[in-house]
Amino acid sequence: MEYSIEEVMETVKMTLYHNFDIRTVTLGINLKDCIHSDIDVFKSNVYDRVTDYGKKLVSEAEKLEEKYGIPIINKRISVTPVSLIVEACAEEDAPIRIAKALDRAAKDAGIDFIGGYGALVQKGMTRADAKLIDSLPEVLADTERVCAFLNVASTVSGMNMDAVIRLGNIIKDIANRTENGIGCTKFAVFANAPEDNPFMAGAFHGVGEPDFSLNIGISGPGVVRSVVEKNRECDLTALSEVIKRTTFKITRAGELIGRELASNMAVPFGIVDISLASTTKVGDSVAGIVEMMGIEKMGAPGSTAALALLIDAVKKGGAMASGNVGGLSGTFIPVSEDTGMNEAVKSGALSIEKLEALTAVCSVGLDMIAIPGDTSAETISAIIADELSIGMVNSKTTGVRLIPVPGKKPGDYVNFGGLLGETYVMSVSTFSSRDFILRGGRMPSPITSMRN
């Protein structure tokens, strides 16, 4: 499909006036053929592979920024889940040594973040998986650019509650080792994690992917908000059409950049993730879109319905624009990274319970939420189990990024800096679910998984 002059001019206007940008270009890299019995050779292979392609990604992305005038905010790499590639290593600290090689390679290549330090443990854990999980506090405290993930649940396999139990203590340990618990911002826990997600912290290069894959994540909350603002009086059917047409234009612009970047790098183009990803910029808020629809404050009654309409229109517009839509492709509601969400928390309109309800219709889940530092490990595990149950039962991706901020209590302010934003610590129920969580085992897959 050809790109018209009108489309190009519309994209220029979106960039100049409504914060449109390419949030991330993420190059997926297969590291399975880097494996070696000698850990030093293994590390060297990993470093060389990531550095070579990372430098090329940064260089080519900068050329496209200059050519089209569309900002590319982050250049990222995702790799094969590290627990898989260290399986044969005898050294107990092999995951940590690979993580540090990845971190050094990302820094030397000018890559913002590198994802894939994680494991797929939805049905059980291997010895390598367990080693990697135990290493998470040290890795996330001692590296700068490494992001980690765990997939602990899926619709087909159920939920690994033994892994969920461990995560409560792991997350508290990460928080206690890093200032304001910021290490937790680099760790996401998933149900039904996609293999081609370009967004951190959950990105990894799945085993079903080719050697390389260029995935792109776009960002257009400001653009969508502007068209909603211009259509305050229309009914919801018409509003959905307006949002759908706008998402079509955003997706077309994003795929143009992604395909050209992949071609210039001589790697396959993967997917365009059409998720509306908030930023800390004024007007670039998903909560702001919902409020522009007529909800006084995000979290008020009607918020879930408004978000459902928004995400449905986004998916329809994106699917019409591209045959390569993938990743998460929905609407993100990260509290600290979205000024409107943060204001809703401050005003008391938005609670963790309402956020959980919102995640039944949107992407990702309980994202970038600061909670009191003295929240018990069992309660953290229980919050994770609640959220991932929504994904498991409804055959969708859900995830959790909780940040128990040491020394902070509900209502306290915390600033994570940069794109991670700032927020207020949210209150958590003090009623215990310890006896339920510590039962362990595996939560069986729902009957909806039996589709063959």
- The arrangement of secondary structure in 217-441, i.e. its CATH architecture, is Alpha-Beta Barrel (3.20)
For 3, which DSSP code?
A: P
pLDDT of residue 12: 52
Q: Are 95 and 139 in contact (CB under 8 A)?
A: yes
The stretch 212-241 carries a mean pLDDT of 89
- The arrangement of secondary structure in 26-191, i.e. its CATH architecture, is Alpha-Beta Barrel (3.20)
Q: What is the spatial distance between Cα 246 and Cα 220, in angstroms, rounded to a whole number?
A: 9
pLDDT tens-digit series, residues 380-428: 999 999 999 999 999 999 999 999 999 999 999 999 988 888 899 999 9
Give the residue ranges of DSSP H helices in 179-334.
221-229, 236-265, 286-292, 303-321
Helix (H) or strand (E) holding 116: strand 113-120
Strand residue runs (E) in 124-268: 146-154, 158-160, 187-191, 212-219
pLDDT > 90? residue 259: yes
- The tokens for 275 are 């998720």
How crowded is residue 87: how many other Cβ atoms within 10 Å of its Cβ?
14
Residues 6 or more apart from 313 whose CB is under 8 A from it? 239, 240, 241, 243, 244, 247
Q: In the chain, where does the domain assigned CATH 3.20.70.20 lie?
A: 26-191, 217-441
pLDDT tens-digit series, residues 67-111: 888 888 899 999 999 999 999 888 889 999 999 999 999 999 999
pLDDT tens-digit series, residues 13-43: 555 444 567 888 999 999 999 999 899 999 9
